[in-house]
Structures are given as structure tokens and as C-alpha cells.
Amino acid sequence: MNKFPVCPIFVPANKLDWVPKILASKADCIIFDLEDSILLNQKESSRNKLCDYLKSNALDISVLIRINPLDSDIGKEDLALFSRNTEIFDALMLPKIEEPSVLDNMPKVDVVLLIETPLAVKNLPLLARANQAVGIALGGADLSASLGSDMSWDSLLFHRSHIVLEATINNLFSIDGPFMSISSLDELKQESKLASNMGFNGKAAIHPSQIEPILEAFLPTENEIEEAKEILIAFANASEGAVAFRGKMIDLPVVKSMEKRLRLAGIDPDDFM
């Protein structure tokens, strides 16, 4: 993928008529869902219609496809079809992935690891090393059900931290799980800010009303963008490995943080180095 998603939104694969509304929003990625939102007797038709739709419509947005678990026949059929049509999407999202061996014989296709079980959390250091992996996402609903916990921030704090750590080590993007109450936008804002502060690159949405609060939490303000540009310019013109900037000491770790800030805003930091 050319850019990691900040606010990917789930869309059932049998609700393709929703796509124009999503494209008119500020979401930067669609996750077409073939798993939880599709009834068993609609899996095959939804898969085929989605494939045909993406072949016929070049969407100006990143596209992920959540297929069914690879230990199921339906998941294997999903993989077989889309691995023959890799030009129509950016990556496949793999639900219920637990064992690294599952990835060994996969076709050459980018994948996002959806972490939904305790065993997946345990094996995450191995899963994240897979050549096909480009991102890691938290599946909070299934994970909390497996643990017998609720979905609150504190209950899944360890698992979130683990995802951010392994994503950073392996140079993958990280997506926090969706906030399930679509009417509680203030709580969504709080959780999105916590996820951003922890180091997540983005947070999944399940309703268009969630897009703005998520983007607000993750994207830098105009003042923050200008500050990042000025810091990079000051550092590039410095003769030492550290430079004073408005009363603060700026060194390489700060520079890397400013580079990330600009990339979030769609700005190439090399233009200021």
C-alpha cells in the first residue's frame, strides 16, 4: 500500500450501493466485509459481485477486503478468487489468524492481520514477520469475547500495546478496532485520541458519523503541520546533531516524529530536508 489508512470504514460486501456515500466522505479506505456481515447463504454471491464491482469501478480510495477465515472452505475460496485479481484491491484482511504456518503457503498478496484471539496475541511476534504482512488491526469484539472481558480501553490495553509494538518493530501500519457505539461520539473522540497517543496509525469506523472524530484525533492541525515543516528545515540547516528550536532541543527522534506528522497530512517530509 502506498499510504497507511487513517480512517478505514467497514462496508458489507453486499451493500455496494453504500460506496458512493463513503467516497463522498473523508474516509481514506474502505474495508469490504465478506465475513461477519454476510449470511452463509450469501457468501458466494457477495464474493463474486464484489469482485465484479471492483473490476468495473476503479475506486479513488484504498481498498481492503476482509475475507473469511482461512481455515474454512469459504475463506479458501475467497483467497483463491482475489489472489487471481490482486489489481483490484490493496490488501486482504485476515480474520481469526492465529498460526504463522497459515501464511507460509499463501499466494503473493499483501495482508492485514486481524488480531481477534488470545493465541493470535501470543503469536503476534511471529505473525508480524510474515513477508505478506503490511498491517495489523485489532479485532476488539471477538478478542474481548474470547477473553471474557469487556471492550473498554483499559481491558484491552495490553493487547493494543502489543499490536503497536510489533507493528513498529516490523514496519507495519496499525489500526485500532472500531468503537461499537455509533451514538457516543464524545467517547469515540476520547478513545481515538488515546489510540493516536499510543502510536496507532488509524482507527476503523463502522458508520460515516465516526469518520470526522477519528480524523480529528489522528490528523495534525495546520499549526502542527507548520511546526513540523519549520523543525525539519531548522534541523536540515543545522551543523550539529541537535538544534535549539523555540526553547526546545531538537534531535533525530524528534525529527522522525515530525516526518510522521507530515506523512499523516499527505506531505512528503523530504521536501523540507
- pLDDT the model gives residue 68: 98
- pLDDT the model gives residue 239: 80
- pLDDT the model gives residue 2: 57
pTM of the full structure? 0.90
Q: Kindly write down the DSSP assignment for every residue of 104-142, as one continuous string.
A: HT--S--EEEEE-SHHHHHTHHHHTT-TTEEEEEE-HHH
Residues of the chain with pLDDT under 50: none
Tens-place pLDDT, residues 115-164: 999 999 999 999 999 999 999 999 999 999 999 999 999 999 999 999 99
Write down how long the chain is.
273
Q: Kindly write down the DSSP assignment for every residue of the chain, as one continuous string.
A: --S--SSEEEEETT-GGGHHHHHHSS--EEEEESSTTS-GGGHHHHHHHHHHHHHH---SSEEEEE---TTSHHHHHHHHHHHT-GGG-SEEEETT---THHHHT--S--EEEEE-SHHHHHTHHHHTT-TTEEEEEE-HHHHHHHHT----TTTTHHHHHHHHHHHHHTT-EEEEPPPS-TT-HHHHHHHHHHHHHHT-SEE-BSSGGGHHHHHHHHSPPHHHHHHHHHHHHHHHT-SSS-EEETTEEE-HHHHHHHHHHHHHTT--GGGG-
Residue 157: count of CB within 10 angstroms of its CB: 12
Tens-place pLDDT, residues 14-34: 999 999 999 999 899 999 999
